[in-house]
Structure 1
Amino acid sequence: MHGNVAQRLTRYAKSGVLRGAPFSGSGTKSMQLVRTPAGWRITGIAWSDDSGE
């Protein structure tokens, strides 16, 4: 965090069934926030699945 701007990087894992086939994976999410007079607000979110290599 720097003043009124913050960023959070998070690892995630997922699993389930898609069209009848099991799947699993993992990746990284990035969230950007800005502090306003009304409180913290999300300004952007991006995520990327790991390539599996």
Structure 2
Amino acid sequence: MSTETQADKFKALARELECDESEEAFDDALKRVATAPPPHEKGQQAETDD
């Protein structure tokens, strides 16, 4: 049985995949996925890409 913890396995895999631990890289990635569209005015329907 291995004495390596789940956290240790995760860290090793992250290193193998060359994950970036910098706060700047995290903030850049977060901005790409967490941008919200502007709120719609009351009474108007949201536009769709039909």
Q: TM-score, normalised by structure 2?
A: 0.21
Q: Which protein has the bigger strand share?
A: 1
The structure that has the greater radius of gyration is 2
Q: TM-score, normalised by structure 1?
A: 0.20
Q: Which has the higher contact order (CA 8 A, sep 6+)?
A: 1
Q: Which protein has the bigger helix share?
A: 2
